Amino acid sequence: MMKLTAKHILYGFLILFFIATLYSAISDSFQESKELALSELVGKVNAGEVEEIVVESSTLGIKLRDGSRFTSKKEEGSSLSDTLINYGVPSAQLSTFKHTEKDPSGLSFWAGALLPTIISLAFIIGFIWFMSRQVQRSSIQSMSFGQTRARMISPDSEGNRVTFKDVAGVDEAKEELREIVEFLKHPKKFLDIGARIPRGVLLMGAPGTGKTLLAKAVAGEAGVPFFQLSGSEFVEMFVGVGASRVRDLFKVAKKASPAIIFIDEVDAIGRHRGAGMGGGHDEREQTLNQILVEMDGFDTSDQVIVMAATNRPDILDPALLRPGRFDRRVVVDLPDIKQREAILMIHSKSKPLAKDVRLKGIAERTPGFSGADLENLVNEAAILAARAGKREINELDILKSIDKVILGPERKGYVINKEEKKITAYHEAGHALVAASLPNADPVHKVSVISRGRALGYTLKLPSFDRHLYSRAHFLDEIAVALGGYAAENFIFGDMTTGASDDLRKASSIARNIVQRYGMSKTLGPITFGEDNQLVFLGKEIGAEKNYSELTAQKIDQEVSAIMKSALAKAQKILRDRKSKLEEIARILIEKETIERDEFARIVGTA
Ligand code: ADP
Ligand code: MG
Ligand code: ZN
């Protein structure tokens, strides 16, 4: 907490001064009417120009018949009529104007006297209250260039407080994080027994699985301030700025302790040092070093816990993972079917669902969806329902949105000519029929020739359960399915189109992975070749040596090509054997454009 500084007091005085000036200006304008001498007033009364005189103790408010206003003073202790008669006004003239007495001790008198004081007092109290609320925040926000830009969520901001209740699924992660909450809430319990409070917690998991949400929930549960900053915000091209931000961030957090510092997407700074491409990596190293220095510099009484999130734990600098740094690692998994249902429940709570909606059924149809995907799904369904002018979201809205979330929006207005539609229909029918004929391929959910995103048509397949292991047989069947479209075009039209290029790329990459990553090749055996090839994106592997010989490279290529050829042969055989089915599917697609799961199963006879 900060104390009121001289600067704040100065501001206070300035505002007071302003209020005082304003007040005197306003009250002046009320008294703008001119003062008349009593003798002048007598003249006007005699001339019959006066319409009304208001008496308030010894002050007279005068209103003339032409509308102008004046003030005057009468003698203390005698009434208005006496005063006027003393000045020689004939008593008959007294009835030519209205005469009002105002009681000076009345409510309006007190209000007039006290109101300005009350208002300025309220201003001052309000101002002090406002400042004291701002002090803590401004101590962070007023730091400008080179200082921390963290956003802080303070524990008493009711509006965006997140707790474990808002996070569904991820039960193991929550269990581990409960311990961190305990540390933050009752540090003494742990210190007394000599336990070292963990300094760093690394949340690892696919994008959208709720890592950021979990970190906020830990702060919410423990009721401590939460400083959030993303890795890429550190990485700005000013030398030294990243490091000084880290220093300031830790300084502020220590003052506010117990507290949580959350570095989102830490891989942006924490990747292997020396692995960066181009400029900016010196900067990143300095930033990373500063984080490590700060974490090493914690002593046991600093109750600041650093949490970080990444979806690429494999590329993190090993120095970050040493004991005393991010030594707690929490895996945040994609949700399984039960957890998906729970997540759907959370995000549909504030939305009116029709009675026909079975969230369990939706969860069944969304394997591989992350929490963020599911939130997006419910939102898309709500938009769909609202656009149709409905008051409730029904199941069809949600089912339609599943396709949209997976494949992008439909492009109904996109016209394809008859010839292209026919080719697309056979292409998709090829995928679908091969998938339906192979035991280890994922089942077909939907076939369509309505274009979505970049594709002219699509065959939507979803695993029938949550897959964690993939077998060689499954991969081989998937390659055959991917080549099904290509094979069908070739079989029916004797030609090939560019429509199959995405399929070919997908099939080749599965085949390469079978050989190089999973060691599933019979001839080359249980060996991996090359590092995880995703690293190339981040520059580490560029210019790095291959860890296999040219001869092996040749063998790999041969093996990949053999896998592709045998998969193509498999697809071709299926299409030849079941040509009538292929034609039936294509015909229905041309006519109706979309075939759903149940109808498709009836056609190919798997229902
Ligand atoms: P990450 O940081 O892992 O990429 P986020 O925490 O940013 O994911 O999640 C994005 C959004 O998805 C959250 O704000 C939340 O609405 C939703 N979400 C993700 N996972 C869950 C979950 N397990 N339970 C509830 N909502 C979730
Ligand atoms: Mg995130
Ligand atoms: Zn295709």
Residues 181 and 88 in one domain: no
Choose one of 374, 406, 438: the last residue of a domain.
406
Same domain, 291 and 356: no
Smallest CA separation from ligand 1 atom 9, residue: 210
Neighbours of 588 (CB within 10 A): 18
Task: Name the residue at shortest CA distance from atom 11 of ligand 1.
Answer: 372
User: Is residue 142 situated within a structural domain?
Assistant: no
Closest-lying ligand 1 atom to the alpha carbon of residue 168: 24
Question: Looking at the structure, do residues 328 and 379 belong to the same domain, yes or no?
Answer: no
Ligand nearest to the CA of 375: 1
* CATH code of 395's domain: 1.10.8.60
Q: Is 372 in the pocket of ligand 1 (CB under 6 A)?
A: yes
Question: Given its phi and psi angles, is residue 146 left (phi above 0), alpha (psi -120 to 50 degrees) or beta?
Answer: left
Same domain, 217 and 234: yes
- Whether 375 is in a domain gets the answer yes
Asked, for residue 62, whether it belongs to a domain, the answer is: yes
**198 Cβ inside 6 Å of ligand 1:** no
Cα 426 to ligand 3 centroid, rounded to whole Å: 10
Listed in sequence order, the residues at least 6 apart from 68 whose beta carbon sits closer than 8 Å to its beta carbon are none
- What are the distances in angstroms from CA 592 to CA 367, 419, 517, 520, 599? 27, 16, 42, 41, 12
Tokens of 148: 């921390």
Whether 8 maps to a domain, the answer reads: no
Q: Are residues 430 and 398 in the same domain?
A: no
Q: What is the mean pLDDT of residues 98-122?
A: 75
Domain boundary among 77, 104, 131: 104
Q: Which atom of ligand 1 is nearest to the CA of 309?
A: 2
- Are residue 435 and residue 397 in the same domain, yes or no? no
Residues 99 and 212 in one domain: no
Ligand nearest to the CA of 430: 3
Residue among 428, 478, 489, 559 flagged as catalytic: 428
pLDDT tens-place string over residues 270-319: 665 554 444 445 666 777 777 888 887 777 667 888 999 988 877 777 77
- Would you list the DSSP string of 228-257? EEEHHHH--SSTTHHHHHHHHHHHHHHHT-
Domain boundary (332, 353, 375) is at: 332
Together in a domain, 478 and 574 = yes
Q: Is the CB of 340 under 6 A from ligand 1?
A: no
Q: How many domains does the chain have?
A: 4
Q: For residue 209, how far is its CA from the centre of ligand 1 (angstroms)?
A: 5
Confidence of residue 564 (pLDDT cuts 50, 70, 90): very high
pLDDT digits (tens, 9 = 90+) for 395-447: 889 988 988 888 777 766 666 788 888 999 999 999 999 999 999 998 898 89
Give per-residue burial for 551-571: e unless 16+ CB within 10 Å, then b.
eeeebbeebbeebbeebbebb
3-state percent breakdown (helix, strand, coil) of the chain, nearest 5 = 55, 15, 35
| Residue 484 Cβ contacting ligand 1 at under 6 Å | no
What is the mean predicted confidence (pLDDT) over 321-333?
83
Token reading at 394? 């029904």
- Of all protein residues, the one whose alpha carbon is nearest to atom 27 of ligand 1 is 371
CATH number for 290: 3.40.50.300
pTM above 0.85, yes or no: no
Q: Which residue did the predictor score with more confidence, 11 or 182?
A: 182
Q: Which atom of ligand 1 is nearest to the CA of 216?
A: 6
Q: Which of 255-264, 287-296, 416-425, 534-543 has the lowest mean pLDDT?
A: 534-543
Ligand 3 centroid to Cα of residue 441, in Å, is 15
371 Cβ below 6 A of ligand 1: yes
Contact indicator for 450, 487 with CB cutoff of 8 Å: no
Q: How far apart are CA 269 and CA 296, in angstroms?
A: 18
Measured from the Cβ of residue 195, the count of other Cβ atoms closer than 10 Å reads: 12
Q: Specify whether 392 is catalytic.
A: no
Mutate to test the pocket of ligand 1, among 164, 167, 375 (most ligand atoms within 8 A of CB): 375
578 inside domain: yes
Give the number of the ligand closest to the Cα of residue 331.
1
Ligand nearest to the CA of 340: 1
Mean of pLDDT over the chain: 81
Q: Is residue 123 part of a domain?
A: no
| Residue 582, pLDDT above cutoff 90 | yes
Residues 315 and 184 in one domain: yes
CA of 599 to the centre of ligand 2 (A): 40
- CA–CA dist 238, 247 (Å, integer): 15
Q: What is the DSSP string of 478-521?
A: HHHHHHHHHHHHHHHHS---GGGHHHHHHHHHHHHHHHHTS---
User: What are the backbone angles phi and psi of residue 441, rounded to the nearest 5°?
Assistant: -90, 155
**Residues 314 and 386 reside in one and the same domain:** no
Query: 196: how many CB neighbours lie within 10 A of its CB?
Result: 11
Residues 591 and 531 in one domain: yes
Q: Stretch 197-224: mean pLDDT, rounded?
A: 89
Establish if 317 belongs to a structural domain. Answer: yes
- Are residues 425 and 394 part of one domain? no
Instruction: Establish whether residue 263 lines the binding site of ligand 1, counting it when its CB lies within 6 angstroms of any ligand atom.
Output: no
- The answer as to whether 131 is a domain residue is no
Look up the domain containing 302 and give its range: 151-272+280-332
What are the tokens at 12?
Answer: 């206070």
**Beta-sheet pairing, 328-332 with 200-205:** parallel
pLDDT, tens only, 332-362: 888 888 899 999 999 998 888 888 889 988 8
Residue 556 is part of a domain; what is its CATH number? 1.20.58.760
* % of the chain residues with pLDDT over 90: 24
In the predicted structure, residue 598 carries a pLDDT above the cut 50: yes
